[in-house]
Structure 1
Amino acid sequence: MSHRVLIPVDLQAPPILPAGVVAHSLSGRTMGTTWSVQALAARSVAQETIAAAVEAQLQRVIDEMSTWEPGSHISRFNRAPAGSWHALPEGFFTVLDAALTMAVDSEAAFDPTVGPLVDLWGFGAGSVQQGAFRPPDAALLEATRQRCGWQRIVLDRTQRKVQQAGGVHLDFSGIAKGYAVDRVAQALRECGCVSWLAEVGGELSGQGVKTDGQPWWVALERPPQDDSPGMVVALHGLAIATSGDYRRYVDHDGHRYAHTIDPRTGTPVRTAPASVTVLHRQCMVADALATVLTVLGEEAGLSFARERGIAALFITREADGFRESLTPALAAMLE
C-alpha cells in the first residue's frame, strides 16, 4: 500500500549524528499499556542507564496521576475531605494546569473532573457497572454530573496547590499518557541520547534521525478496518497522539459506547469520528487536543482546529467505508 508523506513545514535540519553512536531498543509495560523507545547515544551511555531513566519517569507519572493506584497523589486528592488543600508535585501541577487551560479554551469539551462519569459508564478505576453493561438511568446520570465541572477546581498557581471542593474526582486519562511521553523524551535527552523515538500506548515523540540518516517515519494510526492509503510523518521535534472509538468501547443494543465521555452531556460521545490524530510539539497537548476534537465531532472539531492552526486528521465512518478530513495545517505538510 502506498503512503502519503507529511513533512513539518517548519522542520529544522536535525543535527548530524556524532561518530560511534550506538542504537538501543527498549520496551516494557506501564499505565495499563506498553511503552517502547528507540534511541541513539554515545558508547559511554549504557543501555541500563537509559532504561532506568525511562522507567523512573513512567513510575513518577503513575505515582502522581494514576487513578488505578490507591496511594497515588490523584487518588488521595479524590478521597480528601471538602475544603482541604493539597500541595502538588511538579508533574501533577503541570498536567492539571494544562487540563484547566484546555477546559476553558474548549468550552468544557475537555474536563479533568469527569472522573465520576467515567466510572459511571464503566470505563474507570472506580467503575460502578456490575455484570453486563447497561446505560445509567437519567436520575443517576444527573446526580453524577452535579459532582463534575472544572469550575469547581480552585488552583493556587503561585503556591502550586489545589483545593478539594468536596466530591471532586480528577481523571487525567485524556492527557497523562501524552505527558508521560514528554517526560520520557526529556529523560532521554538528559541521559545523553542524541536521537530517539519514544512511545507510550500509541502516543509518540521523535527527535533527530536514525543511523541511516532517515527521519523517524511514523504512520498515522487508522481504524482497524480502514484500508485506504495511509500517511507517514517525519517525527523530528514533533509528537503525535490519536483518539479512536475502537480502542475501548462497549456495544449495547446496537449502539457503540466509546470510552470518551462528553463532559457537557455526561454521556459517551455518540457522533464521534472513528479516530482523530493530532500533531504538536508537546505530546501532552496533542493528547488533550485529540480528546477535545473527538468530543466536538468532525464539523465543530475542524472549525476549532482551523482557528488554532492545529494539524489534525479526522477519520469518519460512513455506510460504505471511511472518509478523512485534514485541517489546513496538516494538509500543508503533504509532500
Structure 2
Amino acid sequence: MAVTRVEQVMGFPVSVDLRDGEPEDADRVFAWLHEVDLRFSPFRLTSEVCRYDRGELPEVSDDLREVLDLCSRYERDSGGAFRARLPGRPFDPCAVVKGWSVQRAAAMLRDSGLSRFCLNAGGDVVTAGEPTDGQPWRIGLRHPGNANEISAVLAVRDGAVATSAAYERGQHIIDGRTGLPAYGLLSITIHAADLTTADATATAAFAMGAEGPAWAAAQPGCQVYAVDSDYRVFRSPELPVIR
C-alpha cells in the first residue's frame, strides 16, 4: 500500500513517500531520525556529540565513529574547506549527519523489502525504484534567485540528490580555510548513488566556492548542477536533467 507522512525532525521537514510500504515502515524511519536528533545534535547538551566534544564519553559508539570518519574524509579531500570543528566553535557534524542518517533510513526500508520510495529531508532526497512503472522520481531544483522558479528537474531512480545554498539560511556555510562565510556559489546540487555522498559533497563543494563544482564533478559517482555568484551554470554532461 502507499504511505505518505511528513514530520519535523532535526529542524526541518522530512517527508516519507512509500509506494509499497506499510505505516509501520514510516514509523521506523521517523523513530530512527528522532534518535539521531537526540544523539547527534550539537545543540542538545546531553547528546552523544556534545558529550564527545566535552570529553565525557568513555567509549565512542560505532555510529559516532562512522560520522567522525566521514568528517575527517571530507575535510581531507576538500583541503580543509569542509570542517566539522571550526576555531572557537563546538564540534558540529550536522553537514554529514543529515545525509548519513537519511541514507541509513533508506537502507532500513530496503532491508524490509521495500523497493519504491522517496525520502525528502529538507530538500535533500534519496529514492528507490520508480513511483509508477516506467516513470522516474522527478526532483526539482530551486532557482537560487527566485523561490518561485525551478532551474531544472532531475529524473532519478535509485539515487540521491542534495543541494547546498545560501537562499534558505543565509551564508551559514563556512570555508574552513579562512573561517569566513563561503562565497563564489549561489547553489550547488549533487546527484550520487547515496545521500551520504551527495550531501557531504555538496556542503564541501559550496565551502570551496568557485573551485567547488569542478572538484565535486571529479569525485567518484558525483554529478553536478551549480550556479555561481554571476548566475553562470556548471552542469555535468551526464546529469539526468529532463527540464
TM-score, length-scaled by structure 2:
0.89
Q: Equivalent of 2:212, from 277, 301, 305?
A: 301
Look up the SS of the partner of 1:294 in the other structure.
helix
Q: Where do residues 134-153 of structure 1 align in structure 2 (5 Å cutoff)?
A: none
| Whole-angstrom distance in 1 between the partners of 2:150 and 2:35 | 39
Equivalent AA in structure 1 for residue 179 of structure 2: G
Residue from 66, 69, 80 that aligns with 1:94? 66
Structure-1 residue corresponding to 2:22: 46
Aligned to 1:183: 104
Matches within 5 A, 1:209-288: 209-225=130-146, 230-249=151-170, 258-269=171-182, 271-288=183-200
Residues 308 and 328 of structure 1: CA distance in aligned 2, closer, same or farther (over 3 Å) = farther
- For residues 170 and 329 of structure 1, do their structure 2 counterparts lie closer, same or farther at Cα, with a shift above 3 Å needed? farther
Once superposed, which parts of structure 1, at least 4 consecutive aligned residues long, lie more than 4 Å away?
226-229
Shift of the alpha carbon at 1:179? 1.1
1:326 aligned partner: 235
**Residue identity in the other structure for 1:260:** I
| 2:66 paired with 1:66 | no
2:87, 2:117 → 1: CA distance? 34
Report what 1:114 is aligned to. Answer: 86
Segments of 5+ residues of structure 2 without an aligned counterpart are none
Which residue does 2:12 correspond to in 1? 33
Q: How many residues align?
A: 241
Deviation per residue, 1:64-120 (Å, 9 max, x gap) = 211121111001112226xxx642223222121111111111111111212744xxx
Deviations 1:274-328 (A, max 9, x none): 1011111121111111111111112x2233134335311111233xxx3211134
- In structure 2, relative to structure 1, the CA distance for the partners of 1:286 and 1:24 (3 Å cut) is same
Q: Which has the higher contact order (CA 8 A, sep 6+)?
A: 1
Residue equivalent to 2:223: 311
C-alpha change, 1:91 and 1:235, in structure 2 (3 Å) is farther
Looking at structure 2, the residues matched to 221 and 89 of structure 1 have their Cα atoms a distance apart, in angstroms, of 37
Q: CA deviation at 1:224?
A: 4.6
Aligned partner of 2:189: which letter?
A: T
Instruction: In structure 1, give the amino acid aligned to 2:173.
Output: T
Q: 2:2 aligns with which of 19, 23, 30?
A: 23
- Aligned partner of 2:65: which letter? F
Query: Could you tell me how far apart the structure 2 residues matched to 1:25 and 1:238 are?
Result: 19
CA distance in 1, matches of 2:36, 2:52: 15
Report sequence identity in percent.
29
Deviation at 1:267, TM superposition (A): 1.4
Indicate how the Cα distance of structure 1 residues 197 and 296 shifts in structure 2: closer, same or farther if over 3 A, else same.
same
Which letter maps to 1:248? R
Report the counterpart of residue 127 of structure 2 in structure 1.
206
Distance in structure 1 (CA, Å) of the matches to 2:237 and 2:219:
11
2:217·2:224 contact (CA, 8 Å) conserved in 1? no
